[in-house]
Structures are given as structure tokens and as C-alpha cells.
């Protein structure tokens, strides 16, 4: 690996760290969420959550998913978050991402397969939201799905695309608290890249966050197990 590549990766990590610090509102070493289960959730408190939910920039355990309406250009439908009646997995991505997003999406494809094996495809939704609508058009999103093995025919995976970069900032960064910053570091990626935090939200059918998983290497078995538990709890109501 050349010195230039090493320098770029170091700067990328530094920027990611800066964005994460700016968007969490909490310092390292904070205790995980403690106390009784709040109203509206079915899972126990998240032991690896880095701070109390109200101290995080993104919606976390026991908080409501902020409202948004975004279009899936592949399926030709608009998803209204307030009308969702399934257990949903929500995250922010861009398909030109050279590292984190591809890793995360591959993990979520594995979760999609486990959900299918459990027979609960119709009770779940996967909603990756691009914050790069300039490049992530329908063709790019279809290519991404094909390269990762996403099962679009299942009807439970929707790539959501804001109409403009400004709309992407409003929904992904300001409402969902998933911070990102456009850079000009990569000519290989058509002139620009993004540094961003990686957060994936598990939201129950009532629109309340059950889990906020940080990082791209989410545990597929853990996420699938959490989804099954939420789906089962709501099926019993």
C-alpha cells in the first residue's frame, strides 16, 4: 500500500471520528442505558448503547423514529415512515462508498435472508436511505442490489432516495442524526466522497426505536434475533 493511500485512510478515520464526536453529544466511556423498560418497546434496554437515548443525536432506545416520506425509485413507491406497520431496519448509506456502506449492506442482506428463513419477510422492512442522490439514481441502486445479492422481489427491501442533496441532509442528518460530510478526497469516486457515521435503527411497528446499532459490522444473528423478538411480540398483541 502506498504512502498516499495510507495518508488518505488516516485522514478518513480522523474525519469520521470528528463527525461521530460532533453528532453524539456524549463522551467516550458513558455507561449503557439502565433502568426500566420505557413504554412502547418490547426489548430490554440496549446494553452496548454508549449514552442515554436523550443524549444521542440519532433516535435510540425508546424514542420515536422522526417522520419522513421518501421514494423508492426501483419499486416506484413512496414510503411514509408514519404509515409503516412492520418492524423496520433504517440506515443511511451511499452506494459509491469504498468501505463502510458496502460492509454494512452485506450484513443486512444476511439479515434479510435470516428473516426469510424465519418466515417473517412480510412483517419486516429494510430501508437504506442514500444521502448521495446525485449519483444514486435508480440504475445505481439496482446495480448495488445486484452486486450484494439483495432480494428485491421479496418486497421488504426499499432503497430510499431523497430528491436533492438538501433533502438528504434534512432527512438523514438533521432528522435521523446520521452525520455525513461531503469531501473531495477521491477522484476514483467521480470527484467526491463522504465521511459519515454508521448507525442502523431497528424500529418496531409502532414507530419506536428498539435498537440503534453502531458501526458497519453489525452482528447478523443478533439483528435477526432482535427482529424476530419484536415481530413475535407484536404478533401476540
Instruction: Grade residue 35 by pLDDT with cuts at 50, 70 and 90.
Output: low
User: Which DSSP letter does residue 184 get?
Assistant: -
Number of domains forming the structure of the chain: 1
pLDDT digits (tens, 9 = 90+) for 156-179: 999 999 999 999 999 999 999 999
The mean pLDDT of the chain is 86
> Which domain range does residue 180 map to?
3-235
Residue pair 157/150 in contact by the 8 Å Cβ criterion? yes
Quick check: pTM over 0.95? Answer: no
Report the alpha-carbon distance of residue 41 to residue 37 in Å, rounded.
Answer: 7
Q: Please provide the size of the chain in residues.
A: 237
Query: Closest Cα to residue 213, out of 12, 34, 49?
Result: 49
For the chain, where are the E strands, in sequence order?
A: 69-72, 77-80, 87-93, 124-130, 180-183, 193-196, 199-203, 209-214
pLDDT digits (tens, 9 = 90+) for 185-213: 655 656 788 999 999 999 999 999 999 99
Read off the CATH number of the domain in which 66 is found: 3.40.30.10
Amino acid at each position: 500500500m502506498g504512502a498516499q493511500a495510507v495518508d488518505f485512510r488516516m485522514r478518513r478515520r480522523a474525519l469520521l471520528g470528528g463527525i461521530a464526536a460532533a453528532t453524539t453529544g456524549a463522551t467516550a466511556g458513558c455507561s449503557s442505558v439502565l433502568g426500566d423498560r420505557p413504554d412502547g418497546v418490547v426489548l430490554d434496554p440496549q446494553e452496548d448503547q454508549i449514552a442515554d437515548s436523550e443524549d444521542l443525536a440519532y433516535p435510540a432506545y425508546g424514542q420515536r423514529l422522526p417522520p419522513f416520506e421518501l421514494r423508492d425509485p426501483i419499486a416506484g413507491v413512496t414510503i411514509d415512515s408514519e404509515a409503516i406497520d412492520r418492524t423496520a431496519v433504517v440506515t443511511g448509506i451511499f452506494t459509491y462508498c469504498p468501505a463502510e456502506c458496502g460492509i454494512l449492506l452485506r450484513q443486512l442482506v444476511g439479515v434479510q435472508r435470516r428473516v426469510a428463513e424465519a418466515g417473517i419477510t412480510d412483517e419486516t422492512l429494510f430501508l437504506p436511505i442514500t444521502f448521495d442522490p446525485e449519483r444514486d439514481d435508480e440504475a445505481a441502486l439496482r446495480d448495488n442490489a445486484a452486486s450484494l445479492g439483495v432480494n428485491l422481489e421479496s418486497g421488504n427491501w426499499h432503497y430510499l432516495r431523497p430528491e436533492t442533496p438538501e433533502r438528504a441532509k434534512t432527512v438523514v442528518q438533521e432528522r435521523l442524526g446520521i452525520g455525513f460530510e461531503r469531501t473531495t478526497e477521491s477522484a476514483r469516486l467521480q470527484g467526491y466522497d463522504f465521511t459519515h457515521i454508521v448507525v442502523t435503527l431497528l424500529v418496531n411497528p409502532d414507530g419506536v426505536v428498539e435498537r440503534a446499532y453502531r458501526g458497519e459490522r453489525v452482528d447478523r444473528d443478533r439483528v435477526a434475533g432482535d427482529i424476530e423478538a419484536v415481530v413475535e411480540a407484536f404478533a401476540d398483541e
